[in-house]
Structure 1
Amino acid sequence: MTDPKLRSARAATALTFAFNGFLIAAWVPHIPEVKHHLGLSDASLGLALLGPAVGSVIAMPLVSRATTRWGSGPVTAVMTFVSFLVIAGPGLAANLPELFLALMAWGMVTGGLDVAMNAQAVQIETSYGRPIMSSFHAFWSVGTVLGTVVGSVGAGLNVSLVRQQAVLAVVLALITGTFVRNFIADHRAEEYAEGRKTFELRLVLLGLAGVCALLAEGSAGDWSPVYLRDDLHVSPGHAGFAFGAFTIMMTVGRLIGDKLVLRLGRSRSITVLAAIGSVGMAAGLVNNTVIGSSLGFACLGLGLSVLVPVFFSTAADGPGAAGPKIAVVASFSYLGFLLGPASLGPLASATSVHVALWVLPTFAALAGVLGVVAVRMTARVAREALTPAA
């Protein structure tokens, strides 16, 4: 029977994931509102959306060192509360530079929190002795579904982004205060020296796979409402429909992800789901209707659902503290958020949002290929580490 303290830690970490996803998703339906309010072009919006990724890449190495020094639990607690202080910033921006800076500050906090809470999740998964990482990311996805609903309702009722996010921050901060002490201490990290180059190579490959996966994921979140509103001409209250389909199916995938990985293994799970995401999204874009495109985004969400959780669990394998290894993969991966929404802006301006979205199925497929290579390399390194020297 699982230790009650361990169950409490799992619940606290799952809620942290959920709250993080909730606040990010609640902003997404307001992106067209901010775009039109500030008079931004597609290219300018793409530039502004560089902010979160830039902030994340800056903060992740710093937070990873903090988790090694003070533990992932305390750092997760601090970063969670700090995140509540910065979420209203984008709604206060009066021009493009201010929007960029506000999003960068938010990205620094959420990126740091991403490393800390995933490091805590790895500690809990290690204690359980079986795959549970996808369940944490499922809570993140549940949070994004609820956040999308709340954000869409707020946008439909013309509630300002500042008022919406401020109210949500207060409510979530009060709830967080009830479980913030439940995180567990980190397991002792073993040092390693031999095989460091191979170990680092597989982390780089995992990071590149994460770049592709998060490029597709981040672009889906930022550009799907713009696509529905500007290209398919839906109302503001329905602009989050495709993203809602995306997040619902990503949640479904993550809810069953641990069982799928346990049954098929990491490599086969990645292969099957990446194929579903790539082919399904391509079919949706060919259809080019609200329903067809939303179904395509749903397939993409399912296809991407298990990839990043598996990449993080794989990164944490082997000796050494989990935080820095996850930070390497996460820092690379967040370049996807840097390159994805930003690169789609100029591409959409030169062609159309519809044409630019063909980037998504392409990179979903590439994430699957790179992920399988990295997972197999990690397994080989683990086998070699267990083989006695002749």
Structure 2
Amino acid sequence: MTPPLPPSSLVRSRLAAGTAFFVQGLLFISLTTRLPQVQQKWSLDELAVSGLLLMVVLLAGGGSVVAELVAGRSSSAVVVRLGLVAATAGFAVLLVAPTFGVFVAGLAVYGLALGLVDASSNMQAVTVEHLYGRPILPSFHGFWTAGGILGTLVTLATADVELGPALLPLLVVPVAALAAPYVRRDRLAAPGADVAVPWRRIALLGLAMVLFYMVDTAATTWGPVYLDGTLDAPTGLTALATLPYLVATLLARAVGDRLVDRHGPVWLLRISGVVASLALAVIVFAPSWVVAVVGFTVLGGAVATIAPLSFSAAGALAGGDDASAGERIDTVDAVIARFNQFNYVGALLGAVLTGAVGADDLRLGFAVPMVLVLGIVPLATQFAIIRRRVPGGTVPDLTG
């Protein structure tokens, strides 16, 4: 019989998966907060920058597909490390690029890595959650937010540092993360095992993911522009649309596990949808930039648990709630990789729809997610699959 996983190893596996999320948030926000420097260095207009972002999103979607294929033949631990290596290489290339063509190539590699790490880190998180036997996905996404906050602070602290080799020390973090004890798994699934997956219900959960990333991308992409162009915030303070949003998101995710345990996901998500809509209303009708910042802060706390609970519910529907979850882990990994695609659909909607509707007035742009986010309220019932679970029997040692 495979020996049970010691509690200390379980904690290390949880921290390892959290490390992958942290690195992802650190690199992604470090890049997006330096887009003005990218624009200046390569003399790009807004349309060109939008095209680069579109390329990154599309390649990330491709990376998520690759993650499913590789994880099916090995494990998500292999995919995480592959993604971290690719992210480090791509980021290094775009930092030291001597020509614009080389910069685009580095950005393309990073985009592919983004999808690899996105999908595999969530596979890791779902597996660890099943080993714990209770909902803990919000805390994993909290690691991503913590990385994003650090990335924002680093950008603010090095605002005078040009985009280039001077920023290479940032890549020590993803290189160090390669040594983390990610969860592995033996090939426990029977060859040719056919596990029924309720794709219709998973699609409804995916719709909730789309709504979250639509709001999240709108806030982080257009928030600073809204404070600057519409509400005349002082120069240098437009980042306050993003930083308080991320801090509130981190705090909400830190307590999210306990809130789900105590009140259940349905109650929490219904509250989230209503409060998020009200927060966006504050943003839309804000008479000053200070009031808008309050709205962004409340918004970050309101929507924080939607994405992690979506992954948790998708993993449960894929069969991870069963006592024999190890026998279905291939299916769970495949479902999580495909489910991750909803991330990029929402990101495109948040960036494109908000910008298109708000081309003349961003108040109208933010009115779109203000209305659509209420869709979380009826979708909340789909999350009833998440419950406080008690693991049965021994837990196989999956670390390595």
TM-score, L = length of structure 2:
0.83
2:333 to 305, 323, 328: 323
Q: Give the C-alpha shift of residue 345 in structure 1.
A: 3.6
> What residue is the counterpart of 2:169 in the other structure?
167
Indicate whether 1:333 and 2:337 are aligned.
no
Deviations 1:309-333 (A, max 9, x none): 1000111114342211112221123
| Aligned Cα root-mean-square deviation (Å) | 2.8
Change (3 A) 1:114 1:69: same
Q: Give the C-alpha shift of residue 102 in structure 1.
A: 5.2
Separation (CA, whole Å) in 1 of partners of 2:134 and 2:220: 31
| C-alpha contact 1:281 1:300 (8 A) present in aligned 2 | yes
| C-alpha contact 2:285 2:363 (8 A) present in aligned 1 | no
Change (3 A) 1:344 1:36: farther
2:144 to 140, 145, 153: 140
Separation (CA, whole Å) in 1 of partners of 2:233 and 2:308: 33
Separation (CA, whole Å) in 2 of partners of 1:98 and 1:272: 47
3-state DSSP of counterpart to 2:183: coil
Change (3 A) 1:164 1:368: farther
1:127-206 equivalent positions in 2, closer than 5 A: 127-155=131-159, 158-163=160-165, 165-169=167-171, 171-177=172-178, 179-180=179-180, 182-186=181-185, 188-189=188-189, 193=194, 196=197, 199-206=198-205
| C-alpha contact 1:152 1:239 (8 A) present in aligned 2 | no
Change (3 A) 1:262 1:167: same
Separation (CA, whole Å) in 1 of partners of 2:264 and 2:369: 25
Q: What one-letter code is carried by the residue in structure 1 that aligns with 2:79?
A: V
Q: What one-letter code is carried by the residue in structure 2 that aligns with 1:360?
A: P
> What residue is the counterpart of 1:359 in the other structure?
368
Separation (CA, whole Å) in 1 of partners of 2:66 and 2:292: 39
Q: Identity of counterpart residues, as a percentage? A: 24
Separation (CA, whole Å) in 2 of partners of 1:128 and 1:35: 45
Q: What one-letter code is carried by the residue in structure 2 that aligns with 1:137?
A: H
Indicate whether 1:65 and 2:74 are aligned.
no
Change (3 A) 1:140 1:227: same
| C-alpha contact 1:55 1:108 (8 A) present in aligned 2 | yes
Change (3 A) 1:94 1:84: same
1:269-348 equivalent positions in 2, closer than 5 A: 269-317=268-316, 318-319=318-319, 320=328, 321-348=331-358
Indicate whether 1:19 and 2:29 are aligned.
no
Change (3 A) 1:224 1:34: farther
Indicate whether 1:374 and 2:382 are aligned.
yes
Q: What one-letter code is carried by the residue in structure 1 that aligns with 2:349?
A: L
| C-alpha contact 1:218 1:340 (8 A) present in aligned 2 | yes
Q: Give the C-alpha shift of residue 302 in structure 1.
A: 0.9
Structure 2 unaligned regions, length at least 5? 320-327, 388-400
Q: Give the C-alpha shift of residue 36 in structure 1.
A: 5.1
Q: Give the C-alpha shift of residue 32 in structure 1.
A: 3.2
| C-alpha contact 1:29 1:225 (8 A) present in aligned 2 | no
| C-alpha contact 1:42 1:346 (8 A) present in aligned 2 | no
Q: What is the number of residues matched between the two proteins? A: 369
> What residue is the counterpart of 1:249 in the other structure?
248
Deviations 1:347-380 (A, max 9, x none): 343x13343233332343224433x14324x579
| C-alpha contact 1:210 1:367 (8 A) present in aligned 2 | no
